[in-house]
Structure 1
Amino acid sequence: LIDSTTSVCHNPSILAIQEVGHPGCTLGQVKNRADLVIYWGCNPIEAHPRHMSRYTTYADGYFFENTVSDRKVVVVDIRRSETAKIADEFLQVKPGGDYLVLSALRAMVRGKGSVVPDKVAGVKKEQLQRVVNLCLQARYGAVFFGLGVSMTRGKYKNIRNAIELVSELSRKTKFTISAMRGHYNVYGFNEVLTWMAGYPFAVDFARGIAFYNPGETTVIDVLERKEPDACLVIASDPGAHFPKSSIEHMAAIPTVQIDPCVNATTALCQIQIPVAITGIEVAGTAYRMDGVPIRMKKVIETDFPTDQEILERINVRVREMNSNG
């Protein structure tokens, strides 16, 4: 079985996209065209510090004379974050109320505002109408959503509702939606595993074919069932992010870590193999959060082997052992 940090991060986003598609775009399109940016359930000032300066609020867009004044920002969150403080409109939603607010916005966009109550999940109807007006007046809108939407009540249904809201808006103007991916190159793992195995994460090869069933083949679920009898951790830190019961099982079985750094997982491992840092000590390709592959050149020399070299040597040894019976 192979899995990635996707299963504890944006896996609801992928499930929603598999159901209704992904009306997305590159960050370059947002930078040059979007005159309305909506941050929903995320706080880029603290979680993605360069996002606003490079691609949205403070980035000089090709089709803007004055980016700061011409571009509007809407923030939807359960608390007034640092990003919310600079927003033109801030919707403070009650925890778990994202689906209700998304549904209310969809109704208003379709001209059915009469069915929306005076307050939805703590947000007044008048404020929702102002956001709808901003969306309909925009030439190009971009929605960015984070774990505040995908990991709250509703999970992938929230994302599906958000995508369908964007589809409704796209009938009247141009709108896109993108996930605020956090883990380094996690999009790259999804891309590579999809074209190699047919699925983006949580793929089980125990049947001799690729089997994909999130909730059954995701890493935390198999650890909770105590099914694995060995674990290989590559460039990740489950020791700092997985539930206690999952970590206890990892500590009880042979676990090997391939990582350039010491982290919380290192203490659980019987073997730790240090490797070169991709993009600094060795050249490589990483996928940006919008799916654009970025080729990274080596900056400094190192004596450590690369992840690829270590995995190839392990693979050769496994094949030799299998051929020898």
Structure 2
Amino acid sequence: IPTERLEEIADIMVECRFGALFFGSGLTMTRGKNRNIDAVLSLVSDLNKLTKFIAIPMRGHFNVTGADMILTWQTGYPYAVDFSLGYPRYNPGETSAVDILLREESDAALVVASDPVASLPRKAAEHLAENPLIVVDPHMSATARVADVVLPATFVGIESGGTAYRMDHVPLPLKKIVKPPEGILSDEEILRIILSEVKRKKAEQMENP
């Protein structure tokens, strides 16, 4: 890229009143990996000394921002949250799904409304499929096709209500439009039933150690 072109782009960014830099997951898949994101944030930080600029990551799946927002609200961390010690710990590079799968430390997985097999590195996806895999999803995704158990759920915003977050963190209420097929529950209802059963089994174990 000619130096003149880079200078032209820099001038445009400095002279704008409010700029936004959108970046996707591909930025972490080239040579610099996480350092590329660091470069993006450093650039935006420097630009904010001269004008107003923000960085917004592009999302590959529906309502990823919503998951980040709720995790941050409940734990203080947006992702890669580890609860194995009974409290939330945040250590990206160690406790993310990709890291745990690549180290083959997991022996089961529950996937809700996501398709990790379609987007994870091959070795991570292979380990995910090798162990017991439960999928809660209205779609027959790549992950659902290799799952041991598939629990079909309602389509949010069509067959059940809920909330989705835009990429700029604005919550959007979603309304139920039609009734779901008989016996099909929402993600929330399915997870509450699973949680109730887990609590019951733990109580039984406490009573009969």
Give the aligned partner of residue 121 of structure 2. 243
Q: Deviations over 1:30-61 (max 9, x none)?
A: xxxxxxxxxxxxxxxxxxxxxxxxxxxxxxxx
Give, in whole Å, the separation in 2 of the partners of 1:125 and 1:258.
50
Structure-2 change in CA distance of 1:211 and 1:240 (3 Å):
same
Distance, in Å, in 1 between the alignment partners of 2:41 and 2:67 is: 23
- Normalised by the length of structure 1, the TM-score is 0.58
1-structure distance, mates of 2:55, 2:197: 45
- 1:140: which partner in 2? 18
Q: CA deviation at 1:192?
A: 0.7
The separation in 1 between residues aligned to 2:44 and 2:124, in whole angstroms, is 37
**Alignment match of 1:322 (pick from 195, 202, 205):** 202
Provide Cα deviations, 1:95-134, integer angstroms capped at 9, x if missing partner: xxxxxxxxxxxxxxxxxxxxxxxxxxxx211112222222
Structure 2 Cα separation of the partners of residues 270 and 244 of structure 1: 19
Q: Which residue of 1 aligns with 2:174?
A: 296
Partner of 1:308: 188
Secondary structure in structure 1 of the residue aligned to 2:134:
strand
Note the residue ranges of structure 1 that are not aligned, 5 or more in a row. Answer: 1-122
- Report how far residue 173 of structure 1 moved: 3.0
Q: Does residue 1:176 correspond to 2:22, yes or no?
A: no
- SS, match of residue 265 in structure 1: helix
**Aligned-partner residue type, residue 268 of structure 1:** V
TM-score if structure 2 supplies the norm length? 0.88
Question: What residue number does 1:263 align with?
Answer: 141
Task: Tell me how far apart the structure 2 counterparts of residues 210 and 153 of structure 1 sit (CA, whole Å).
Answer: 31
CA distance in structure 2 between the partners assigned to 1:213 and 1:146 by the alignment: 21
- The CA RMSD over aligned residues, in Å, is 1.9
User: Is this contact kept in 2: 1:250–1:268, CA < 8 A?
Assistant: no
Residue type of the partner of 1:315? L
1:216 pairs with 2:94:
yes
Measure the CA separation in 2 of the matches of 1:146 and 1:267.
Answer: 26
Query: Any conservation in 2 of the 1:256–1:272 contact (CA below 8 Å)?
Result: yes
Q: Which amino acid aligns with 1:224?
A: L
C-alpha separation in 1, matches of 2:84 and 2:9: 49
What letter matches 1:309 in structure 2?
E
Task: Indicate the SS of the match to 1:223.
Answer: helix
Q: What's 1:19 paired with? A: none
Amino acid at match of 2:56: S
* Secondary structure in structure 2 of the residue aligned to 1:324: helix
Aligned pair count reads 203
Alignment of 1:61-76 (within 5 A): none
Other structure's SS at 2:8 match: helix
Q: 1:205 to 1:174 in 2, by over 3 A?
A: closer
Match status 1:205 vs 2:83: yes
Cα distance in 1 for partners of 2:17, 2:101 equals 48
Distance 1:222 1:135, change over 3 A: closer
Taking a change above 3 Å as real, the CA distance of residues 168 and 265 of structure 1, as seen in their structure-2 partners, is: closer
Q: Is the 8 A contact 2:112 2:137 kept in 1?
A: yes
Q: Deviations over 1:127-167 (max 9, x none)?
A: 12222222333333332222343432323332332233233
- Distance in 2, matches of 1:172 and 1:226, equals 46
* Aligned position for 1:276: 154
What does residue 109 of structure 2 align with?
231
User: Gaps spanning 5+ residues in structure 2: where?
Assistant: none
Give the CA deviation at 1:307. Answer: 0.5
Q: Residue 236 of structure 1: SS of its match in structure 2?
A: coil
Residue 154 to residue 297, structure 1, CA distance change in 2 (3 Å) = same
